[in-house]
C-alpha cells in the first residue's frame, strides 16, 4: 500500500519516477513531497543563459552602428529615419539577431528539459510548470522569442512558493509579459506623448490579468474595469535609448531641452532591458477599478490594483479550481476546491502553504490515475524513467513539435490546456505511438521491459499492462507497450 | 498491391469508429448525395473590416484610415475584398463565394477562449463538453462522419458521437502491425485510448498517399493554412469520404501592426482556398465552406496600428454549392451611434442561423433537431435561407 502511495507521489505530484524514486518516496510519501516546498526549490542556475537585460543589450549592440534606421524590431522609438545604412546591411543584422535569439531559445529548452529529467525535486518543478503555464509568455515572434526563457527564470521560478501577490507583481511587470501582452505599446490616451504619436491605450495586459491570471472570466469585473486598469498600467515600459525622446522627457525646444533629452537618454541607456516607469506615458488622474478608487502617486497605482485583485475572493476560487483540476481531475471535485480556497484565503495566497494543502488533498491520492499526461509531461516522465537520450533522440525540438507541445510556445495567453480531451484525439495518440516506437529502439539496454515498467510505475501498473509487457515479442515491443500503456499515459 | 493488407484486417475489428473503412452506403445512395460541409475556424478573431471593407461607408476612413487596403478589389454593394485574396474575389464574381459582413454568435463579452468555446459548443452562455457538430452527427439523416485536421480534436467535434477523426501527418517511424494489434488489446478496458487509436488507424489508411512534407509545425501559423486545407480536401474527395471537415487556422489576433500580419494571413488563406478547390476536384461543386471567427475586432484603430477584441465579424462562404456573388445581412453602418458599445461593429446576423441553414439545406438535417439537441434553446434563431444552391 505504501509503495502505491510512493508511486502516486512520484508520478501524480512529481514529474514521473526515476529508477529507485518510488522506493525512496514510499516510506513517507507526503513528507517526501512537502520537503520540496522551500522558497528556492524551483530556482535553477542561469549558467550561460542570458538575462532579459542581456537579451535587450545584445539586440541594441547589434544595431548600434546603424543610426536611427537601426531600430530593433518592436522597440519603441522613432520610425525609420534618414540614416545612410543600406537595406542590405540592415537585413544582415536583423537576420543575425534572429538567429541568435532562436539559438538562445533552443538553449533555454535544453536547460529546462535537462533539469526536469534529473531533478530530485520534481514536485517543485511540476509546481513551477503550473505557474509558468498560468502566467504564459509564449514565443510567438521575433520580439518575444528571446524573452520567454528569462521570464520564467526571473519572474516565476523565485516566487512560486512565496506570496501570490509577489508572484503576480513579478510576472505582470517583467519585460517579457509587457512585450507579450502589448503593454509596451499602450500609452495614456490623454498624454502629450500619445497625441504626438497618434497612439493610445492597449487593453490586452489588463484584460488577461483579470481574465486569466487572477479573477477569471465572468467573475464580476466589467469592460470599464479593464479600461481603467489598462490606464493605470500605462507608463510601465522597458528602458531603451529611444525612450527618452519618445516620452518627451526633456520637454520644450531649444538647446537646454536638447541637453535634458540627452541626459535622460543616458539614464535610459542604463535602464536598457529593465522595467521602468515613465510618467509622461502614464494616463494622469485617479482610477476606479472594481468600485475602489486609486489616486495617489501614479507609479503606485497599478501595483496597488494588482495587490487588491490578488486577494480578491474570485482569484482564490479561480486558482483553487485550476490547481485541483491539475492535481486531481479534469472535473475538479467541489469539496477539494473548497479546501484549497480556504487555505488560500486564510494564508492570503501564500503559495507554500497552498502547495502543502494540495499534497494533503485526499482526493489526489486515489489509485485510479485520472489525469492524462500532456505531451510535455509524457516526454519528461519518459526521460526520467528511460533517460533523456532515449526519450528525445537527437532532435529534441522535432519531438516536441511532432507531439504538438513545444516548450515556451503555448498557442495563446491562456496557456496549454489541462484536460484529457484536448490531448487525446486520434492524431495525438498516433503521434505518441510513433514516438514510443522510436524511443523503444533507443532503449536497448540491460534492463528488461518488465523491470522498466516496475521502476516507472510500480504498483500503478495494472495486471493487463504487466501481462502485455511481459508477453511482448521483443524487448523493443515491450518498451513501446509500457510507454503507451494507459497507466504511463496518465499520472 | 494487396487487396487486403494486414492493417485493414486489423481495422475490421474496430470498424465502429472508422471514418471511411466501413461505409454504410456508397456516396450515391447516401442521403448526403455527395454533398459536403467544411467549417473553418479562424482562431484569434479576424478583422473582418480589413478583409472586406465597406468602402462606401462615410465613417470608415475616420475610424481606421491606416487599416484600409488601398488596392482592395471592388465586389458589389460598396464592399471590396483585400487585395491579398484575388482568388476568393474571383470565386465571388463567378458565383462561388458570398460574405456575411456583420455576424456574431450570442456571446457579447470579449474573451477569445470563452467565445471560441461557445462558438464550438453552440451554447448561449455556458460551455458544454460537446460540440454542435458532434451533436449534429448524433441526429444525422444518415451515417455521416466528420474529420478534423490537426493534432488536437477541437471542441466542435468532441462528444458522444464517435464517427469523428482527426489527422495530421506523421514525422516519425511507424509501429508494426503486430504492436498495433497488441496495443488495441491493451486498450480494451480504456474507452478513451481505444477510440482514439482505432480512429487514428482509420484516418491513416485514407491519408496514406498524402504528401507528408510541408506540415512540419504541428501548431498554427499561416504556413499551415495551405497544407491543412489541402488535407481536408483529400479526405472529403475520397469515395465514401466523410461529409464534414473542420479546419482550425490560427493567428488572427492582430493587436499590433496588423497590416503586415494580415497581408500574410490573407495571402495564405486565399492560396489555401484555391488549393482546397483544386484538391476537391468534382467534389467542389457539392461543397459548402464557412469560415468564421469567434468575434470581430474593434472598428477603430488602437494605439499600436492594430485592433482589439470586438463583436460583429465577417463570415466567408465559399464552394460550388454556395449561392455566391452576394452579401448576406444588413450593413449596420459605422456611425459611432450605430456601433455596439460605441466600439464594435453591430452584428446583424446570428452565427447559429448560418450553421443551421447550412446543415438543413446542404446535408438535410431536420429543423426540430437543429432547434433542440444540436443548438439547445435556439428556436428563436431561424435557419438562414438561400445560403446554398438548391
pLDDT at B152: 64
From the CA of B114, how many Å to the nearest CA of chain A? 8
Q: For A226-269, give the DSSP string.
A: HHHHHHHHTTEEEB-TTHHHHHTSS-SSHHHHHHHHHHHHHHHH
- DSSP 8-class letter at A57: H
- DSSP 8-class letter at A473: S
- Other Cβ atoms within 10 Å of B28 Cβ, number: 9
Q: Across the strands, what pairs with B298?
A: B344
pLDDT at A236: 96
pLDDT at B111: 84
Closest CA to B266 of B316, B328, B322: B316
Tell me the residues of chain A between 44 and 83 that have a Cβ less than 8 Å away from chain B: none
- The predicted model gives A353-359 an average pLDDT of 98
Inter-chain residue contact A473 with B192, CB threshold 8 Å? no
Residues of chain B with Cβ-Cβ distance to A477 below 8 Å are 176, 178-179, 182
Q: How far is CA A267 from CA A240, A264, B55, in A?
A: 10, 5, 47
Query: Which band of pLDDT confidence, cut at 50, 70 and 90, is reported for residue A269?
Result: confident
Q: Mean pLDDT over all residues of chain A?
A: 90
A33 vs B7, more confident:
A33
Inter-chain residue contact B153 with A464, CB threshold 8 Å? no
Inter-chain residue contact B173 with A472, CB threshold 8 Å? no
Q: How far is CA A467 from CA A199, A464, B175, B311, in A?
A: 66, 5, 20, 56
Name the least confident of A435-449, B13-27, B39-53.
B13-27
Q: Is the pLDDT score of A51 beyond 70? A: yes
pLDDT in tens, A100-111: 777 889 999 999
pLDDT at A323: 98
Query: Which band of pLDDT confidence, cut at 50, 70 and 90, is reported for residue A265?
Result: confident
Q: Which residues are CB-neighbours of B191 under 8 A, at least 6 positions away?
A: none
Q: For B146-183, give the DSSP string.
A: EEEESSS--GGG-SS---EEEE----SPPPPHHHHHHH
Spacing of C-alpha A5 from chain mean position = 29
Residues of chain B with Cβ-Cβ distance to A481 below 8 Å are 179, 182-183, 186
B278 grid coordinates? 483544386
Q: For A166-199, give the DSSP string.
A: HHHHHHHHSHHHHHHTTGGG---TTSHHHHHHT-
Give exposure, A292-325, as e/b (b: 16+ Cβ within 10 Å).
eebeeebeebbbbbbebbbbbebbbbbbbbbbbb
Distance CA B358, CA B352 (A): 10
Q: Is the pLDDT score of B2 beyond 70? A: no
Terminal Cα-to-Cα distance of chain B (whole angstroms): 41
Residues of chain A with Cβ-Cβ distance to B302 below 8 Å are 200-202
Inter-chain residue contact A437 with B174, CB threshold 8 Å? yes
pLDDT at B319: 98
- DSSP 8-class letter at B223: G
pLDDT at B368: 92
> In the Cβ-directed half-sphere of A128, how many Cα atoms lie within 13 Å?
28
Distance CA A121, CA A110 (A): 18
- The predicted model gives B12-34 an average pLDDT of 51
Q: Is the pLDDT score of A74 beyond 90? A: no
pLDDT at B145: 95
pLDDT in tens, A19-48: 999 999 999 999 999 999 999 999 998 888
- Other Cβ atoms within 10 Å of B267 Cβ, number: 17
Inter-chain residue contact A425 with B153, CB threshold 8 Å? yes
Query: Which band of pLDDT confidence, cut at 50, 70 and 90, is reported for residue B220?
Result: very low
Q: What phi-psi label fits residue A22: left (phi over 0), alpha (psi between -120 and 50 degrees) or beta?
A: alpha
CB B188 within 8 A of CB B5: no
From the CA of B203, how many Å to the nearest CA of chain A? 8
pLDDT at A293: 97
pLDDT at B210: 40
Q: How far is CA A396 from CA A101, A109, B338, in A?
A: 18, 9, 53
Distance CA B35, CA B37 (A): 7
Of B112, B218, B308, the CB nearest to A401: B218
Inter-chain residue contact A426 with B166, CB threshold 8 Å? yes
> In the Cβ-directed half-sphere of B278, how many Cα atoms lie within 13 Å?
10
CB A138 within 8 A of CB A409: yes
How many pairs of residues across A and B have Cβ atoms under 8 Å apart? 172
Closest CA to A460 of A26, A15, A8, A16: A8
Distance CA A193, CA A287 (A): 20
pLDDT in tens, A357-384: 999 999 999 988 889 999 999 999 999 9
Tell me the residues of chain B between 95 and 134 that have a Cβ less than 8 Å away from chain A: 109-114, 129
Residue located via cell numbers 513545444:
A406
pLDDT at B12: 32
Is the full-model pTM beyond 0.80? no
Inter-chain residue contact A402 with B218, CB threshold 8 Å? yes
Name the least confident of A167-171, A361-365, A406-410, B180-184.
B180-184
CB A47 within 8 A of CB A104: no
pLDDT in tens, A208-227: 999 999 999 999 999 999 99
pLDDT in tens, A424-478: 988 899 899 989 988 988 886 657 899 999 999 999 999 999 999 998 877 888 9
pLDDT at B10: 35
Q: How far is CA A394 from CA A27, A105, A117, B322, in A?
A: 37, 17, 16, 49
Query: Which band of pLDDT confidence, cut at 50, 70 and 90, is reported for residue B200?
Result: confident
Name the least confident of A428-432, B174-178, B216-220.
B216-220
B257 grid coordinates? 501592426
CB of A3 less than 8 A from some CB of B: no
Instruction: Judge residue B65's burial from the number of C-beta atoms within 10 Å of its C-beta, 0-12 exposed, 13-18 middle, 19 or more buried.
Output: exposed
pLDDT in tens, A172-206: 999 999 999 999 999 999 998 888 877 899 999 99
Residue located via cell numbers 469539496:
A335
Q: Which residues are CB-neighbours of A280 under 8 A, at least 6 positions away?
A: A191, A192, A193, A235, A247, A248, A249
B15 vs B284, more confident:
B284
Q: Across the strands, what pairs with A490?
A: A372
Distance CA B164, CA B134 (A): 8
Residue located via cell numbers 487486403:
B4
pLDDT at A67: 56
What ipTM was estimated for this complex? 0.83
pLDDT at B334: 97
Residues of chain B with Cβ-Cβ distance to A426 below 8 Å are 153, 165-167, 195-197, 199-200, 203
Of B166, B183, B304, the CB nearest to A182: B304
Inter-chain residue contact A486 with B152, CB threshold 8 Å? no
pLDDT at A22: 97
Residue located via cell numbers 484538391:
B279
Name the least confident of A374-383, B144-153, B208-217.
B208-217
Q: Mean pLDDT over all residues of chain B?
A: 86
- The predicted model gives B245-255 an average pLDDT of 89
Instruction: Judge residue A331's burial from the number of C-beta atoms within 10 Å of its C-beta, 0-12 exposed, 13-18 middle, 19 or more buried.
Output: exposed
Distance CA B243, CA B287 (A): 9
pLDDT at A314: 98
Distance CA A176, CA A182 (A): 10
**Pair type for strands B73-74 and B80-81:** antiparallel
Q: Is the pLDDT score of A1 beyond 70? A: no
Sequence length of chain A is: 491
CB A174 within 8 A of CB A55: no
Of A199, A218, A399, the CB nearest to B303: A199
Amino acid at each position: 500500500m505504501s509503495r502505491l502511495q510512493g508511486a502516486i507521489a512520484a508520478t501524480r505530484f512529481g514529474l514521473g519516477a526515476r529508477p529507485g524514486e518510488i522506493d525512496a518516496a514510499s516510506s513517507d510519501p507526503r513528507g517526501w513531497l512537502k520537503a520540496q516546498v522551500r522558497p528556492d526549490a524551483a530556482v535553477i542556475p542561469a549558467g550561460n543563459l542570458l538575462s532579459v537585460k542581456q537579451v535587450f543589450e545584445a539586440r541594441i549592440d547589434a544595431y548600434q552602428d546603424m543610426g536611427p534606421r537601426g531600430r530593433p524590431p518592436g522597440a519603441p522609438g522613432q520610425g525609420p529615419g534618414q540614416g545612410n545604412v543600406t537595406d542590405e546591411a540592415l537585413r544582415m543584422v536583423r537576420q543575425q539577431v534572429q538567429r541568435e535569439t532562436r539559438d538562445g531559445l533552443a538553449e533555454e529548452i535544453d536547460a529546462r528539459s535537462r533539469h526536469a529529467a534529473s531533478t530530485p525535486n520534481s514536485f517543485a518543478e511540476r509546481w513551477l510548470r503550473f505557474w509558468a503555464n498560468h502566467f504564459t509568455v509564449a514565443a510567438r515572434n521575433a520580439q518575444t522569442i528571446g524573452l520567454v526563457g528569462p521570464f520564467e527564470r526571473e519572474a516565476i521560478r523565485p516566487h512560486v512558493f512565496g506570496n501570490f501577490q509577489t508572484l503576480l507583481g513579478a510576472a505582470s511587470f517583467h519585460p517579457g509579459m509587457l512585450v507579450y501582452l502589448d503593454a509596451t505599446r499602450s500609452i495614456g490616451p490623454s498624454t502629450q506623448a500619445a497625441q504626438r504619436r497618434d497612439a493610445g491605450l492597449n487593453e490586452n495586459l489588463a484584460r488577461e490579468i483579470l481574465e486569466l491570471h487572477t479573477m477569471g472570466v465572468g467573475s464580476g469585473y466589467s469592460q470599464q474595469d479593464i479600461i481603467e486598469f489598462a490606464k493605470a498600467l500605462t507608463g510601465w515600459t522597458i528602458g531603451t535609448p529611444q525612450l527618452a525622446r519618445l516620452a518627451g522627457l526633456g520637454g520644450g525646444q531649444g538647446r537646454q531641452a536638447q541637453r535634458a533629452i540627452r541626459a535622460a537618454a543616458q539614464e535610459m541607456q542604463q535602464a536598457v532591458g529593465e522595467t521602468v516607469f515613465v510618467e509622461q506615458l502614464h494616463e494622469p488622474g485617479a482610477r476606479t477599478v472594481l468600485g475602489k478608487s486609486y489616486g495617489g502617486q501614479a507609479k503606485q497605482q497599478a501595483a496597488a490594483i494588482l495587490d487588491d485583485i490578488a486577494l480578491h475572493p474570485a482569484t482564490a476560487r479561480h486558482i483553487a479550481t485550476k490547481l485541483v483540476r491539475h492535481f486531481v481531475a479534469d472535473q475538479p471535485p467541489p469539496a477539494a476546491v473548497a479546501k484549497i480556497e480556504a487555505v488560500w484565503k486564510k494564508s492570503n495566497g501564500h503559495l507554500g502553504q497552498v502547495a502543502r494543502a494540495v499534497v494533503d488533498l485526499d482526493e489526489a491520492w486515489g489509485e485510479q490515475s485520472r489525469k492524462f499526461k500532456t505531451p510535455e509531461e509524457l516526454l519528461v516522465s519518459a526521460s526520467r524513467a528511460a533517460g533523456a537520450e532515449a526519450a528525445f533522440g537527437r532532435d529534441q525540438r522535432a519531438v516536441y513539435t511532432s507531439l504538438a507541445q513545444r516548450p515556451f510556445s503555448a498557442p495563446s495567453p491562456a496557456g496549454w490546456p489541462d484536460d484529457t480531451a484536448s490531448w487525446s484525439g486520434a492524431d495525438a495518440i498516433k503521434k505518441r505511438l510513433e514516438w514510443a516506437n522510436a524511443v523503444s529502439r533507443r532503449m536497448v539496454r540491460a534492463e528488461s521491459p518488465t523491470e522498466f515498467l516496475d521502476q516507472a510505475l510500480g504498483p500503478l501498473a495494472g495486471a493487463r499492462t504487466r501481462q502485455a509487457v511481459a508477453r511482448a515479442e521483443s524487448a523493443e515491443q515491450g518498451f513501446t507497450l509500457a510507454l503507451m500503456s494507459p497507466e504511463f499515459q496518465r499520472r | 498491391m494487396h487487396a487486403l493488407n494486414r492493417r485493414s484486417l486489423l481495422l475490421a475489428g474496430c470498424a465502429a469508429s472508422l471514418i471511411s473503412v466501413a461505409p454504410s452506403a456508397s456516396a450515391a445512395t447516401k442521403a448526403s448525395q455527395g454533398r459536403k460541409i467544411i467549417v473553418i475556424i479562424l482562431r484569434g478573431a479576424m478583422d473582418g473590416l480589413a478583409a472586406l471593407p465597406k468602402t462606401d461607408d462615410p465613417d470608415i476612413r475616420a475610424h481606421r484610415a491606416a487599416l484600409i487596403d488601398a488596392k482592395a478589389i471592388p465586389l458589389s454593394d460598396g464592399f471590396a475584398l483585400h487585395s491579398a485574396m484575388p482568388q476568393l474575389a474571383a470565386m465571388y464574381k463567378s458565383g462561388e463565394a458570398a460574405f456575411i459582413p456583420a455576424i456574431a454568435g450570442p456571446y457579447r463579452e470579449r474573451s477569445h477562449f470563452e467565445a471560441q468555446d461557445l462558438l464550438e459548443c453552440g451554447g448561449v452562455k455556458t460551455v458544454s463538453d460537446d460540440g454542435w457538430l458532434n451533436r449534429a452527427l448524433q441526429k444525422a439523416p444518415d451515417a455521416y462522419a466528420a474529420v478534423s485536421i490537426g493534432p488536437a480534436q477541437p471542441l466542435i467535434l468532441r462528444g458522444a458521437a464517435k464517427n469523428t477523426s482527426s489527422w495530421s501527418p506523421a514525422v516519425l517511424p511507424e509501429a508494426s502491425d503486430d504492436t498495433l494489434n497488441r496495443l488495441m488489446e491493451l486498450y480494451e478496458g480504456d474507452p478513451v485510448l481505444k477510440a482514439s487509436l482505432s480512429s487514428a488507424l482509420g484516418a491513416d489508411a485514407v491519408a496514406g498517399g498524402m504528401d507528408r512534407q510541408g506540415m512540419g509545425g504541428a501548431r498554427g501559423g499561416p504556413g499551415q493554412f495551405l497544407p491543412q486545407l489541402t488535407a481536408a480536401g483529400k479526405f472529403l474527395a475520397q469515395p465514401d469520404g466523410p461529409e464534414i471537415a473542420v479546419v482550425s487556422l490560427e493567428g488572427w489576433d492582430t493587436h499590433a501592426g496588423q497590416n503586415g500580419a494580415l497581408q500574410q494571413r490573407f495571402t495564405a488563406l486565399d492560396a489555401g482556398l484555391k488549393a482546397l478547390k483544386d484538391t476537391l476536384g468534382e467534389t467542389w461543386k457539392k461543397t459548402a465552406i464557412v469560415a468564421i471567427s469567434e468575434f470581430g475586432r474593434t472598428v477603430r484603430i488602437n494605439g499600436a496600428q492594430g485592433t482589439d477584441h470586438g463583436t460583429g465579424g465577417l463570415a466567408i462562404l465559399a464552394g460550388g454549392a454556395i449561392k455566391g456573388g452576394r452579401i448576406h445581412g444588413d450593413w449596420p453602418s459605422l456611425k459611432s451611434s450605430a456601433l455596439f458599445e460605441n466600439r464594435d461593429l453591430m452584428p446583424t446576423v446570428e452565427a447559429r442561423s448560418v450553421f443551421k441553414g447550412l446543415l438543413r439545406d446542404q446535408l438535410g438535417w431536420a429543423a426540430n433537431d437543429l432547434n433542440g439537441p444540436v443548438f439547445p434553446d435556439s428556436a428563436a434563431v431561424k435557419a438562414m435561407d438561400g445560403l446554398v444552391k438548391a
